[in-house]
Every structure is written in structure tokens, then in C-alpha cells.
Structure 1
Amino acid sequence: MKNLKNLLLVVTIVSIFSCSSDDDNRSIDPGQGGTPITGSELKGELTEDATLLASVAYNLTGSLTVKTGTTLTIEAGTIIKAKSGRTDIFLAVERGAKLIAKGTAANPIKFTSDASSPKAGDWGGIVIAGKAISNKGTDVQSEVAGLLYGGNDNSDNSGELSYVIAEYTGAKINGEQEFNGISFFGVGNGTVVNNIVVSDGKDDGIEFFGGSVNVTNVYCANIGDDMFDWTGGYTGTITNAFGVRNDGFDEASEDPRGIEGDSNGSDATATPISRPTLRNVTILNLNPDVALKAGAEIRRGTEATIDNVLFAAYGSASFGNRIDTNDDKGNGILTISNAFAQGNVGDDKEGGDITGTVSVITDGISVPSNNTVATKAGVGADLSAFAWANQEFVVTK
């Protein structure tokens, strides 16, 4: 019998004598599956390996924390509905624990709200801590979920997230603490992250606090604050990233951006300096009522390299600036190549150093009546990579 210490849920431990033939044929990675959790309520601390089954309709009714040394595996096709309207609803993975969430294009794993009319900020989000380097130090406490993160192992492995959707995230605790869709605190590059969708989030879509984890095919749709964000000495690579604000999604912070990068808000010289690389990126605004403050704001000591990016606003939607490297807590340094702009996306605001130029084009983005985005071949993100997510693009004005 597996011990699910303090896990406040009704759990049926399935033995080999009670498994159905369907259960016998489940495809679980050897040594990673753990005991199937067949009760539907999720809450508490997971202290031994366990598996969430696609055949069970799960309800996340409190914080669920995967404790150090423990692996939580989630089957492809699993749907987890989070109780809406509270700030203590989230999935947390401690430093030294693992989350193995391997969906497929046909059967993604989905975290969503249980509300009949879901909205941004209904629940917290996914928070993962690791042992990789941060310029905030080691044994740093995460902004949310109270996890310790940081260390000296940039190859640290916190598991895998593939074909995962997180929607209606971003519950706000107070003026300083707010959940993102997915937060990576000191997560190392031994962790596999690809084919991720964060949608309808109240705060940031995906944020990196130090660490070196690499991400491929990440799509942030309808994000209240910044679509892609990093701080704390992040040094990973983000490949094929698409961020879009649809017409009608009016949830917004004072300064929503496509990309926000900084190194350390308290000390812009703290090491290691954030130095991520971004390749194949599209930032698109379709909402004429909410301007993006910037396509990319690179500030507070961070350095960044961006190759092949499109900043675009359709119709009367707009940006304040394409690129902004100016900040009173330290300017940023950006090397940019194969950069394009279309629509009312402002100018570059240089406070730090910008190497490279942005070319204005007229045939990059268009949104036909069937709500599909037409792109110029080879410019920005490859949007076909996100066909599995069945996302729509909304233009009503």
C-alpha cells in the first residue's frame, strides 16, 4: 500500500487483483507510474510515486504538492478541473521531485477551471522548483506556493511537460503575489518542456525565475500581463513561441507585454546575468481596446538574443513600443536579428543597447474571416505547431 501522506482525497489503491483489463494495458513508463490514484479529489502532499489516470475526472480542491523524492505521472488525455475562486488552488512540484506529464497531440493533458463560466484568475497554476542556478542565491523561496529553489546544478531534471494546456490561471494573492500559468523556479535543462499552451491567464503566461530549462513550442493566448517572462539569471532557450491577445479579452495589467525580461530587480549586476536565447517568435495583438506596452521589454541588466521575430498588430490594435531596453533599475542589452514589424507597433525605445534592426513589412500577418492566422513563410513562429490545441483567433472590430 502506497502512503499518500496528508493527501486529503478519497483514494482507491488499485491492486493487481482489482485492475480491469483496460488498466492492465495502460502505457506507463516503467518505474515512473507509481500507484494509480482513482479517487477524484486532489489536495495535500504527495509523498510517494503516484499516477493520475485519464479515465478519472479529477478535481483539484486545494494545493497539491509533489514532495521531494516523489514523482507524479499524469496520463495523456487526463483533465484536471481546479476549484475556482480561491488562491490556494495550485499544483506545486518541489525541488528534487518530478512531474511527468506526457500528453500527445491527440490527447493533451488539460488543467482548467471548474466554473460554469470560467475566467482568468479562477485558480493558481503550475509551479515547479529545481536545483539550477539563480542570481537570487540558493534556498530562495518562490513568490507563490512557498517552495525553495536554486542550487548549482543547471542539468537538474524536474521531469517532463509535453502537450499540456493550462487555462484560467493567475489567481491573485495580494499586490505582490500572483500566480502565472506555469512558473519555473530554478528549473534545470534536464527537464523536458515542449508543446505547451497557457490561455486566459490573469498574470503572466509562462515565467522563468533563474534556471536553464529549454522550451520548444509554447503558445500563450489571452494573457493579462506578460506572455513570456524571465528573471533571476535565466539562461535557457525558447524556440517557437507564439503570443496573442484576442479581441474581446480585456483582462489586462497596467503594462501588458509580449516579452518581459530582466536579470535582477534589486541588483542589475548580480550574477549570473539572465542571458536567454529566443528563436522563432510571434507577438500578435488583435484587440483594439488593449495596447501592448511593448513587444519586448528587455531591462534590469538582462542580456538577450532574439532571432526571427515578428511584432504584429492587426487592424486598429496596437503596441506602445516594439522594443524597450530602458529602465530606471538598469537597462537591458538585446541582440536581435531577422526581426519584422507589421501594423501599429510603435518604435524601438533604446535605453540600453540594441544590436540589429527591425524591418517593417506589409505581408506578414492577416486574419481572414475564418479566424485562421495567415503568416509570411519563415517569419516568426511556425503556427502550424499549435494546430493540436484547436485555438481560435478572435477579431470582431
Structure 2
Amino acid sequence: MKRILLPLATVLITGFSMTSCTIEVNDGIEEAPTIISGDETLKGIISKDVVFKKGNYTLDGIVKVTNGAKITIEAGAVFNVVTTKTSALVILNDGLIDAQGTATEPIVFTTSTKTPGDWGGITIYGEAPIKALNGNTTAVSEDGNALTYGGTNPNDNSGIMKFVRVEYAGKKIGDGTSETNTFTFYSVGAGTVLENLVAYKGTDDGFEWFGGTVSAKNLVSYGNFDDSFDWQDAWSGQNNSNWFAYQVGTGNFGMEIEASSNADNVAPKVNNLTLIRAAGTNPEAANSPEITAIQFKKQGSGIFSNVYISGYKNIGAQKAYSVLIQDSATETGQVNTGKIVVSPMTYLDSDNPLVWGYAFTPNGGKTFTNATTVTKVSLPTGAWATVDGVNLLSAL
């Protein structure tokens, strides 16, 4: 019998006050979860299993799931997030999430003001390994919580998220160095399921991984101000597929990839990747070189197959490339060792075709030929990828 002793903590939900207690796990007498049926406000610490039925809710402030608790969210649940304070949903490394929407009834987190950067998005912590700066196996999060992350279990399970859409997140935090993304994964393990997720119009990255081993399928990063996809700390997910980024209005790199300067890393793998940059999209900072589709730096690696890239144009003196190698160490440690592969690829309606970019000299000068066999990713249609009547997949 596994016994979890929960310290005194309270889940604050309007109309409810639930004080945690000792829970017997795997003994047939596990305490039943609390069932919430909509029209409630969620705030504080969740340290007891809670089920959110289909309905409308308010998420107020930073809500943390911890102490072995699991939150279960039914298809069709909608959370309107309070924007007058820093709000976020944080699954700590001893918490679980089970959020399983459907294509027709997604789980949605949004705001009434519909302003990018309104809140902190969804952050999940796990117990999978990382390689941070200097090869450290732990690091401190940059999400404002300043929590230590990094573990030893590559198959750690933080739960399931399917058909979940997060809107207007990626909040900049006032200390000037911290920020959150729409979806953030700190040392999340391969036992976690991430499928059919939409990151919509956040002011930082759409999806960012800090180490860990989790993989993700059917991702949509739409209109995020910084990078559509980003990772560091030697994230090593091996079973990723069907990623789509659409950059519009404001956007930096399609993908920003690093391994925190650790040459000894396991290259993540992504099969079927589509990066499209709409005409007139500009980087966050004027005259910024952050307009390339895929950038590798600080020993970042990745094996990408069936890659479709379109719309990456020069802006003034700044050049846009399909792939940019930022430093010579990454060229030596990753490109030359076969841990950076982007093939087959087609690069259309973009500047500087058929050659990778290099931000240093001398360099290896890699060329390529556009493949005719590559097509855009195919994703299921439905309400999960529709915002205010706009089909986010219409560019595919």
C-alpha cells in the first residue's frame, strides 16, 4: 500500500472549501474526488483530486496542483482567466492533469479581454532528466515560481492533455527576467501524453521544453510573439509528429533550439513539420535577425523529416533562412556529427533558398535541394482549432 500524507492545504472554489487529509492509494479505499459542475471560481492550491465537469469556470491567480492530487477536466470545459493579476495553471511534479477534450468539444483556457500576454498559460513540472548549463542535472525555473526542476525518471508521467486550447497567454513577468509561455514543460517525462494542443496568440513562445523526454503530437502554434517552438536543457522527445506553426503579425524564429551548451545530448525527433510565416510579420524588436524558420545554437540538435517551410522573407538588412546555425560549436558538435538533420524539406516563397545560414565565419556552408515529395501536415478539423469563427488550419 502506498500512503501519501497530504499537509493541510485548501482548494478555494467559490461555494466550496476543501481541506486535504490522508489518502490511501492503491488500497481500494481511495478518497473520492470532488466533483465541480461549472460556474465556480478556482484559486489557490489543489491538494485533493477534483473533477471539473463540462461547464464554464473562472481561473483566478496562480493555481497549483500538488501533493499527489489529480485534476480531471471534461471535454467542453471553458476556463475564463482573471487578468488583473498574474494567473496561471501549474501542475507541480507531484501533481497530475487529465484534460481530455475532443475535436468538437475542446477544453479551452481564454480571457475576456482577448489580449496577448493576459496570463501565464499552463506549466507542467515532471521528474525526467535534464542537462542544464555546465551539464547540471537540475536548474531553477524562469516562470516566476523559481522552482528547482530536473529528475531521474525518463518515463515519468505528469498526466494527459488532449484537445486543449490555450489563448492569450505567455505573460511577461515584472522582474524583467522571468516569463511564461503558452505551454511550458519542465523536465516532463515520456509517460505524459500531449496531443492536439493549440497555443494561440501568446506574447512569448507557443511551446517550450526545458529538458525532459516527453513527446507531443498534433501541435498548433498560432500567432505567438516570440518563437513558435523552443527548447533547451537537452530536451530529447523521440516521438513527435504533425507540428504546425503559423506566424502572423509579430513573430521571431519559427523554432529556437538549444541544448544549454551540452554537446553530449540526444537529438529530439519530429516527423511532419510545417512552418508558415504570413506576409508582413515582423520580429518583436526592430532590426532583429530573429526571422529565420529554424535556428540552432548552444549545441542544440534535432532530426526533422518531411519539413514544409513558407514565407520567411528578409527584412531590411536581416536575412531569413530555412535553417540558421548560430555558432561554430553547434556546427562542430551537432551538424558534423549528424545530430542536426532537416530533410526532406521544401522551402517556398522565402528568401535565401537552397542554403543554410551561418552567423559565423568560416563555416561549413550547407546546401540543399527542395524536395518535391514534402506536403503540409494534416490535422483533424473542428472546434479545437477554431477561434472566434476563424479556422486556424486554413493555411494548410
TM-score by length of 1: 0.80
Instruction: Give 2:350's match in structure 1, choosing from 326, 339, 344.
Output: 344
Partner AA of 1:10 in structure 2:
T
Any idea what the Cα deviations from partners look like across 1:165-207, whole Å, max 9, x if unmatched?
Answer: 0010011014321110000100001000100000101000001
Letter in 2 for 1:278: V
Query: What do residues 29-84 of structure 1 show as CA deviations (whole Å, max 9, x unaligned)?
Result: x98982113561111111111111213x2111110000131111111110011112
Q: What's the CA shift string for 1:202-248, capped at 9, x where partnerless?
A: 000001100010100000000100001111011103210000023xx
Query: CA 1:42–1:153 in 2, change beyond 3 Å: closer, same or farther?
Result: same
Is the CA contact (8 Å cut-off) linking 2:188 and 2:213 kept in structure 1?
yes
Residue 253 of structure 2 corresponds to which residue in structure 1? 257
Q: Show the counterpart of 2:59.
A: 60
Quick check: 2:65–2:95 contact (8 Å CA) kept in 1? yes
1:51 corresponding residue in structure 2: 51
The aligned counterpart of 1:359 is 370
Offset at residue 394 of structure 1 (A): 11
Change in 2 beyond 3 A, CA 1:91/1:135 = same
How far the C-alpha of 1:387 sits from its partner, in A, is 7.2
CA distance in 2, matches of 1:34, 1:97: 14
Q: Hey, what does 1:225 align to over in structure 2? A: 226
Q: CA deviation at 1:129?
A: 0.4
Contact map agreement 1:198 1:221 (CA 8 A) in 2: yes
Q: Is the 8 A contact 1:53 1:78 kept in 2?
A: yes
| Cα contact 1:13–1:37 (8 A) shared by 2 | no
After the TM superposition, which residues 16-27 of structure 1 pair with which residues of structure 2 at under 5 Å, given as runs? Answer: none
Partners of 1:245 and 1:286 within 8 A in 2: yes
Q: CA deviation at 1:296?
A: 0.3
2:95 pairs with 94, 97, 102, which one? Answer: 97
Q: How many residues align?
A: 350
After superposition, where does 1:265-276 map in structure 2 within 5 Å? Answer: 267-269=261-263, 271=264, 273-276=265-268
Q: Does 1:125 align with 2:113?
A: no
**Residues 257, 315 of structure 1: CA spacing in aligned structure 2 closer, same or farther, 3 A cutoff?**
closer
The verdict on how the C-alpha distance between 1:303 and 1:356 changes in structure 2, with shifts beyond 3 A counting, is: farther
For 2:292, the equivalent position in structure 1 comes to 294
Residue type of the alignment partner of 1:7 = V
Q: Is contact 1:219-1:386 (8 Å) kept?
A: no
Residue 166 of structure 2 aligns to a residue whose secondary structure is: strand
For the structure 1 residues 216 and 353, does the alpha-carbon distance in structure 2 shift closer, same or farther, using more than 3 Å as the test?
Answer: farther
- Structure 2 residue runs of 5 or longer lacking an equivalent are 1-5, 19-28, 284-289
4+ aligned runs moved over 6 Å, structure 1: 30-33, 314-319, 352-356
Q: How does 1:1-397 map to 2 (within 5 A)?
A: 5-12=9-16, 34-38=33-37, 40-55=40-55, 57-86=56-85, 88-115=86-113, 118-136=114-132, 137-144=136-143, 145-173=145-173, 174-236=175-237, 237-246=239-248, 249-250=249-250, 252=251, 256-264=252-260, 267-269=261-263, 271=264, 273-290=265-282, 293-313=291-311, 320-327=320-327, 330-331=330-331, 332-333=334-335, 334-347=340-353, 348-350=356-358, 357-359=368-370, 378-384=374-380, 388-390=384-386, 391-392=390-391
Distance 1:358 1:6 in 2: 59
For 1:228 and 1:36, locate their aligned partners in 2 and report how far apart those are by CA, in whole Å.
Answer: 35
Label 1:393 to 1:105 Cα distance change in 2 as closer, same or farther (>3 A): closer
- In the alignment, the residues of structure 2 paired with residue 284 and residue 33 of structure 1 have an alpha-carbon distance, to the nearest angstrom, of 46
Cα offset for 1:268? 3.5
For 2:382 and 2:307, the matched residues in 1 are separated by 17
C-alpha distance in 2 between matches for 1:295 and 1:218: 17
What amino acid is the match of 2:57? Y
Shift of 1:383: 4.2
State the one-letter code of the partner of 2:49: D
User: Which letter maps to 1:379?
Assistant: T
- Evaluate the alpha carbon distance shift between residue 356 and residue 162 of structure 1 in structure 2; reply closer, same or farther with a 3 A threshold: farther
In the TM superposition, what is the alpha-carbon distance from 1:127 to its structure 2 partner?
0.5
- Indicate the larger mover: 313-322 or 68-77: 313-322
Higher alpha-carbon deviation: 70-79 or 145-154: 145-154
User: What's the RMSD between the two structures over aligned residues?
Assistant: 3.1
Q: CA deviation digits over 1:4-27, x for unaligned, max 9? A: 82333324489xxxxxxxxxxxxx
1:124 and 1:388, CA in 2 relative to 1: closer, same or farther beyond 3 A?
closer
| C-alpha distance in 2 between matches for 1:319 and 1:239 | 28
Between stretches 162-171 and 76-85, larger displacement belongs to: 76-85
Q: Is the 8 A contact 1:297 1:324 kept in 2?
A: yes
CA shift at 1:287, angstroms?
A: 3.1
Q: Matches of 2:280 and 2:199 in 1, distance apart?
A: 22
Query: For residues 260 and 315 of structure 1, do their structure 2 counterparts lie closer, same or farther at Cα, with a shift above 3 Å needed?
Result: closer
Contact 2:32 2:49 in 1 (8 A): yes
Amino acid of the structure 2 residue aligned with 1:341: Y
**What is the TM-score with the length of structure 2 in the denominator?**
0.80
